[in-house]
Each structure stands twice: as structure tokens, then as C-alpha cells.
A = this chain, B = another copy of it.
């Protein structure tokens, strides 16, 4: 186990009707809120009205900025920063999924910073004194509701890059599983894949003697697997929705990161896909992750055998390589049952931009991946395995 610091101050407010508390929570941080959200879905479901009512009950002044797209754009973030400065906003309230929260985090970081917000992504500028952020989560997937990170897309060149700080974790996140009843099956499934891969990125490590967090990671994965199909079969089943929602947060709140090196190659390889083709991040991961696993499993066969056995129930009998591959196969089958694509072809993506994407993936570093270091050529091979 490696030395580590772990602190996650986000207050999780979980359960039925909890969005009704948002006004009182926001009031703790100020009187003027930027309400940040995506399109019309929160209006269709009535959530928007309930949020406005709760805020108005506490006499909170509301400025709105909607229009967040999946793979949130830095241009909207810049607009948000301007609005916050001009209106002396006290706190941002993000109502939505990972894209909305990530967009809000970037605005929070950018308001007190004199340069351009994209600097945080590419210049390594440190976040200081960000605006506080509150969240009402509507899509369990990205884990951004208690994570320190944000991922932005720069339209000029379709770069997708991330930055983070412990200071960017939301002050509070309201998680009501009922708000996820209306999610389309595709988005539910993509969310399930995303949260699973958040665990994988930490689970596949070169650090030895990490039993506790290995087992806790397997607990999270097993629960997601057991409830993923239930949620598709019965979208309004509270119990399974609640398991998935809480699992999605714990997959990415950094507890499962403690004491170990991590990987993150799959995320970076996928970001080039969703950056260029604007596909759903989770769907991209369902394609990239199995390919990544097939490319790297020999690096630590024991770990892939453990994964196959404890997460996918493969008996530890016979050839160890076959056991490892059977685990990956069962994962692919699970992704398919969830309605996800597992090849680029299924997503309508041809091989003509592999070199370009691989080059972009390593544009800031010579290699990516903590578990296995991948060069540009390795990344091209992984795209080919994903064809």
C-alpha cells in the first residue's frame, strides 16, 4: 500500500424528495445562485419547477445558464464565468449529470482566475478559491457529484481535457434515485459502464498489498452488475436505482483510489473518441475498455484472474490465461446485454482517424496509463482491437 492523503468533504444528501431541501442548502453559502443545467429534460419532468420553488422559498436570487451539452464546451464555461462575475454570484447550482456538473466546476474555478479557463487543462494552473458548488444529480455515471475533477471539450480542435482539485468537490450533492426513473435506457446503460470503468481505472494497478480496496472495489462492481439489468427491466424500481446511484458516487469519490497507483488510459483513449465523434462517454468506454484489457492483461495475469473470479464469477480452474480472457468476455457480454456497443463498427466509426486520435491522446505526455504505459503506437493498436 502506498502512502496517501484522503479527504472528501462533499455532503451527500441521498433519497426520496431530497431535492426539496436545495433552497436551505444553497442558503448556507449565499443569496445569489447561478442555476446551471442542460436542455429541457429537467423542465419536462417537473424538477426545474421544484428547484425554483425551493430556492424562492428561501429568497434566493436566481440567474440561469442552460444549454450544457454532453461533452461540455469551454465556450459555455467562458460565458458562465462572465455571468458570475457580472452578477456577483455566491454559489453555482448544477442540476443534471456529469456534463452539467463538470461545466459548473470549470466555471467555479474560472471566476477568480485572471487567465483563460482552458489554462487549467493544459498549463497546469492550480485552482484557487473557486466558487462553491451545489449539485442535484440526475444521471448516475460520471461521479462528478463528489469527485475533484472536471472534463471539458475545446471546440477549437475538438480537444477533450481534464483538470481537478480537492477544492472543486461540490459542497453538497443531492441524490434522489427517483429523479433517474425517466432516464432513457441507453443513457442508463452508458452510466453503468462509466461508473464501472471508474473502478477499473483504479483496480488495475501495479501497487501490491492492496487487499482492502481491491475487495471494496469488487463489492462496488458486483453491486453494479447485479443491479444494471434490473434497472433496464424496471426503470421505476427504487431499490436498484438507489444501488446504482450510490455505487456511481462511491466508484469515483477517491476512496477506491487510496493507497495505490491508478491507470486512466481507457478514459484518455475514449476521450478522443467522444471528443471527435461526440458519442456518449460511457458507450465509448464500453468499446475501448475490453480492447484495452485484451491488450494489457498479460502485464499482470494474477490481477486479471482475480478480476475474472471475484467480479465475473469465473472458476479458477485450468489455464490462467483462459480464465483472464473469460472474465473480459463476460464483461463484454454484460455490456451487450445492457445495450451498449462493444466495437467501433457498431458505433459507426471507421479506422481513418486512429493515428490522429492516438496522437492527441498523448499530446501532453509521452505515454498514458499507470498500469501499462502506452505509446502512440500502442494506442493505435487498441483502437484496432476495438474495430
Contact = CB atoms under 8 A, between A and B. Distances in A.
A216 interface: yes
Contact of A223 (B215, B226, B246, B247): B215
B3 A18 contact: yes
A206 interface: no
Contacts of A18: 3
Contact of A5 (B7, B13, B216): B13
A255 B216 CA distance: 12
B259 A1 contact: no
Interface in A298-319: none
A33 to B, nearest CB: 21
Interface string A202-224: 00000011011101101110110
A4 B14 contact: yes
A219 B211 CA distance: 9
Number of copies of chain A assembled together? 2
Contact of A246 (B10, B12, B246, B259): B259
A16 B218 CA distance: 27
B15 A11 contact: no
A367 interface: no
Contact of A209 (B15, B208, B242): B242
A239 interface: yes
A6 interface: yes
A236 interface: no
Nearest to A8: B8
Contacts of A10: 7
A168 to B, nearest CB: 16
Contacts of A216: 216, 219-220, 250
Given A14-B258, A259-B14, A1 B212 contact: no
Given A209-B242, A212-B223, A219-B215, A14 B7 contact: no
